[in-house]
């Protein structure tokens, strides 16, 4: 894996992340393909709108259909027919957020499947084995996601587990698969700083900040984004996990983050909330009933080039499958295009203007 910063504008930066399966232009948005599919989209459609990398979830694929099955079918790329890069999370976040019952121990976590109630164990060794079987291009270390709010003592205990697991994952790093470390430490600057320093000592291909957007106030999140970014190595990709609200993305790119993932564009699309150059739009609004105009006249996506708001509203209210498809094509195109324009603004030294213009619209 090679990473190079091409241009800086303040702390915002645009760069190239080169993997054997393709080049990713940063800042990059990674559509989420939780169980090996970006919901409602075929891989060809994803390529057509410019997706360069997708994210898949270890926890979900481990439980169903199972990483061994996927491995026997040629790995995740062959399984889902996606030949561009894939990043897999380690499963840590889902174990902590989805599993009703879990017991954290020093060497991993016992948890109950949210599907059938069966018991499982996930430690650093298992997380690395699963991701190796899936064959992702970028793997993530197993981390202990600290709930919000947490006491300093709890956050510190959790941090030591995260660091120990990170070290074990690093030892099990597989040739040809990049590995990113994840900084935790809740909302305590001292712990975040310590975690990042220790992760840098262990040495990773890239660095992520996790444990944000867990119920904290926005100001806290933004403060921590700005605090952590300059602590991360300048010559490695910096990934802000699970943050995809475009207002937050603008703050994070300004601070120097490079990679993002979020279910926001895809989930909202299925619920009829669409992102446009005029702000968010709920497609079910009565006023769109006989509207023959496109959803967003400034958008060049397949949906906006071919369908009216009246038709999109009709499909949504009739719960047609095509509604989810057309809405997802638009929302993902909008996101990927937003990132394209953001990269261009950094290239031209105009990120401040870009941020000022979009902040109003997207918040």
Binding site for Zn ion (CB under 5 A): 299, 301, 303-304, 330
**Catalytic residue chosen out of the listed positions 143, 205, 261, 296:** 261
DSSP class of 87? E
Q: List, in sequence order, every residue forming a beta bridge with 208; answer none if it has no partner.
A: 182, 239
Cβ 111 vs Cβ 95: under 8 Å: yes
Q: How far is the CB of 303 from Zn ion (least distance, A)?
A: 5
**In the complex, minimum distance from the CB of residue 114 to Zn ion, in angstroms, rounded to a whole number:** 34
**Helix or strand (DSSP H, E) at 5:** strand 2-9
Q: Judged by CB, which is closer to Zn ion: 19, or 301?
A: 301
| Residue 108 DSSP symbol | E
Strand order in the sheet with 178-183: 28-30, 259-261, 238-240, 206-209, 178-183, 138-140, 86-88, 54-56
Task: Report the distance separating Cα 124 and Cα 169, nearest Å.
Answer: 5
Residue closer to Zn ion, measured from CB, 2 or 278: 278
Minimal CA–CA distance to 355: which of 347, 259, 230, 346?
346
Least separation, in Å, of the C-beta of 277 and Zn ion? Answer: 10
State the Cα torsion 8-9-11-13 to the nearest 10°.
Answer: -40
Tell the smallest beta-carbon distance from residue 298 to Zn ion (Å): 9
CB 334, min distance to Zn ion, A: 6
Does residue 296 have an active-site annotation? no
Which CB sits closer to Zn ion, 96 or 333? 333
Catalytic residue among 9, 89, 248, 258: 89
Neighbours of 74 (CB within 10 A): 10
Mark whether 298 is an active-site residue. Answer: no
Of 13 and 330, CB closest to Zn ion = 330
When the beta carbons of 131 and 276 are compared against Zn ion, the nearer one is 276
Residue with tokens 């921590």: 224
Catalytic residues: 89, 261
């Amino acid at each position: 894996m090679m990473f190079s910063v091409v241009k800086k504008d303040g702390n915002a930066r645009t760069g190239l992340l080169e993997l054997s399966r393709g080049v990713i232009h940063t800042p990059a948005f990674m559509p989420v393909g939780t169980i090996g599919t970006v919901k409602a989209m075929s891989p060809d459609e994803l390529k057509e709108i410019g997706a360069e990398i997708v994210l898949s979830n270890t926890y979900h694929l481990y439980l169903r259909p199972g990483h061994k099955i996927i491995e026997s079918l040629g790995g995740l790329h062959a399984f889902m027919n996606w030949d561009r890069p894939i990043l897999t999370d380690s499963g840590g976040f889902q174990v902590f957020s989805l599993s009703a019952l879990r017991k954290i121990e020093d060497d991993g976590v016992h948890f109950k499947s949210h599907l059938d109630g069966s018991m499982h164990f996930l430690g650093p060794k298992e997380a690395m084995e699963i991701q190796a079987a899936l064959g992702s291009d970028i793997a993530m270390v197993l981390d202990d996601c600290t709930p919000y709010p947490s006491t300093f003592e709890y956050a510190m205990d959790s941090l030591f587990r995260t660091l120990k697991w990170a070290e074990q994952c690093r030892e099990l790093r597989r040739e040809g698969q990049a590995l990113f470390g994840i900084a935790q430490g809740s909302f305590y600057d001292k712990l975040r700083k310590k975690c990042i320093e220790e992760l840098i000592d262990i040495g990773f291909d890239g660095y992520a900040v996790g444990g944000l957007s867990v119920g904290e106030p926005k100001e806290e999140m933004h403060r921590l984004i700005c605090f952590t970014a300059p602590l991360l190595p300048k010559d490695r990709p910096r990934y802000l996990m699970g943050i995809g609200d475009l207002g937050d993305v603008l703050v994070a790119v300004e601070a120097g983050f490079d990679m993002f993932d979020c279910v926001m564009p895809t989930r909202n699309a299925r619920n009829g909330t669409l992102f446009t150059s005029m702000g968010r739009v709920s497609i079910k609004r009565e006023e769109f009933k006989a509207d023959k105009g496109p959803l967003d006249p400034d958008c060049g996506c397949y949906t906006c080039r071919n369908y009216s708001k009246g038709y999109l509203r009709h499909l949504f209210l009739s719960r047609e499958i095509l509604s989810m498809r057309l809405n997802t094509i638009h929302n993902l195109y909008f996101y990927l295009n937003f990132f394209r324009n953001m990269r261009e603004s950094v290239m031209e030294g105009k990120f401040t203007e870009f941020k000022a213009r979009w902040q109003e619209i997207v918040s």
